[in-house]
Each structure stands twice: as C-alpha cells, then as structure tokens.
C-alpha cells in the first residue's frame, strides 16, 4: 500500500503503519475511505479516475496520479475539471520532440522565439493559456513551425494564440513566482496576474513597476531556480501575501479574483 488511503500521500513502512501526513492508520484489509463507504469526508473526485479522494490529498489514492491541492487548481475552460496545467512536449510526425532542432541550431533558437513545450489540461489534453486581453484562462490555438537550417529542420515549435480573442500568448511573465511555485499556471499565479492586469497596469506608477519587474524578473527567477533553499524560504511568505490579497478582494467585491470562468 504505497499511498495513504485517506490523503493520498506516499507512505513508508508496512501496511499497518501510520501516514506521516494525516496520521491515519493504514491497514491492508480496510479499503480506501471505508468509513464513508467509498466517499472521503469533505472530498472531491479525482479528475482522472473519477473516484472519491480526500480534499487534503494532492495525489489520488486510487490511481496514484498527481491531482494538486484544491486551492491551487483552476477549472479547465474545455472540460471544466479542476486541474493544474502541465507542460506538453511539442513533437513532429515521427513522434520525436524538438530537442533535435536545438542541436541543429547549436542549442539556440534562431528561427523561433517560442518554446518547444506548451501548456495543456492534463485531463482532456487541450492547450490552454492565460490571455492578458481576456484576463482569464482560455483555450489556445497552436501554430506549428518547422525549425532548423536546410536539411536539419528536425522538428516543430509551437506558438500559441488565444482561441477567444486571437491575442498572442506571450507566456509566463511572473518570473519569480513561477520559479518559487515551480509551475507556470495555477490559482496563485492567477491572483498575481489579476493584480497586475487589473490594478498595476491602471496607474502610471504601477506600469513603471511592471516594466522594472520585466527587466529584472528573469534574472531573479533564474537566481531562485538555482537556489532551492531560497525558493523554499520565499514560498511561504509569498503564499501569505496572496492569501491576504485574496481575502481583501473577497471582502470588497464579494468574489474571488483571478480565477477563470468556464
């Protein structure tokens, strides 16, 4: 029994051990969440296997798939499942990724500024992105382009546009937050995007702050990525600030900000 039947965390020891995350006893003759006859208390359904899991679980105890914490998930605009988007590698017809194109270009992107991966819903595999014009997560339209020089055109790279307003998706812009949370799109980043688009960009001082962040953000993000201890140390105070901002917005407007509508 490698995963806790209550919270879905990976456990160590025998089947009769206790889970170090939630403290529940693990027994080989007790089915998952049998106290509620197959339903976890205050639970939710796994978006992959559709089984009931505990709300505190970040991994499904049935299919062992990472499902993310509920407070970090966002609804997919296509299938409406609560998910955390994942990076999908761009491939050509032969099923090979575009790393061969990077080798052909001596490790640099001379013919394309886009990445060789794109964000997608892990459930329905639909490409999704945050659109600054729509100010929400929308379905993306992928435009693929051959990269390489001469006969070394060995793969595709993708450029994403918003399927709603045809706006160009520029990719992640919360460089430091992306490095701290180790993700490019979740509910916490949506709060930061909303604060930038709906508040900072509406004042001259805020726009100057955004420009300064764009100038120094990539370097700070790379520095946080190279220092795991600093990244872990900054994660908690960043979450506290986002939580305070979320509560203030709910008290003032009566609804949570930043989350996409489906």
**Torsions phi, psi of 105, nearest 5?**
-100, 20
Q: Check whether 116 has a pLDDT greater than 80.
A: no
Q: Look at residue 40 in the predicted model and tell me its pLDDT.
A: 40
Q: Where are the domains of the chain?
A: 1-67, 82-162, 175-253
The predicted-structure confidence for 202-224, as pLDDT tens digits, reads as follows: 899 999 998 898 888 888 888 98
Query: How far is 258 from 196, CA to CA, in rounded Å?
Result: 10
For 226-258, the pLDDT digits (tens) are 898 988 899 889 989 888 888 887 787 766 665
Smallest CA-to-CA distance from 193 within 168, 172, 208 is with: 172
pLDDT value at residue 76: 94
How confident is the prediction for the chain on average, in pLDDT? 76
Could you tell me the pTM of the whole model?
0.69
Tens digit of each residue's pLDDT (9 = 90 or more) over 83-95: 999 988 776 555 6
Question: Can you tell me the mean pLDDT for 34-58?
Answer: 72
Q: For residue 117, what pLDDT is reported?
A: 78
Q: Is the pLDDT of residue 148 over 70?
A: no
Output the pLDDT for position 122: 94
89 vs 60, more confident: 60
């Amino acid at each position: 029994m490698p995963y806790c039947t209550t919270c879905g965390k990976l456990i160590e020891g025998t089947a009769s051990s206790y889970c170090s995350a939630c403290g529940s006893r693990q027994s080989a003759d007790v089915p998952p969440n049998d106290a509620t006859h197959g339903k976890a208390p205050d639970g939710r359904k796994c978006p992959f296997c559709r089984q009931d899991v505990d709300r505190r679980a970040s991994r499904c105890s049935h299919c062992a798939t990472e499902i993310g914490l509920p407070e970090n998930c966002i609804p997919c605009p296509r299938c409406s499942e609560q998910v955390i988007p994942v990076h999908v590698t761009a491939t050509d017809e032969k099923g090979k990724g575009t790393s061969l194109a990077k080798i052909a270009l001596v490790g640099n992107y001379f013919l394309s500024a886009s990445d060789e991966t794109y964000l997608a819903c892990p459930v329905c595999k639909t490409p999704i992105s945050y659109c600054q014009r729509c100010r929400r997560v929308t379905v993306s339209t992928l435009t693929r382009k051959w990269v390489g020089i001469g006969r070394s055109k060995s793969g595709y790279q993708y450029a994403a546009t918003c399927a709603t307003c045809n706006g160009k998706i520029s990719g992640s812009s919360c460089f430091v937050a992306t490095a701290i949370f180790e993700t490019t799109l979740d509910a916490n980043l949506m709060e930061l995007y909303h604060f930038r688009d709906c508040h900072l960009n509406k004042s001259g001082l805020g726009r100057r702050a955004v420009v300064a962040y764009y100038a120094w953000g990539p370097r700070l993000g790379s520095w946080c990525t190279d220092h795991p201890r600093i990244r872990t140390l900054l994660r908690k105070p960043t979450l506290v600030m986002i939580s305070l901002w979320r509560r203030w917005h709910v008290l003032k407007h009566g609804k949570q900000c930043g989350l996409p509508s489906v």
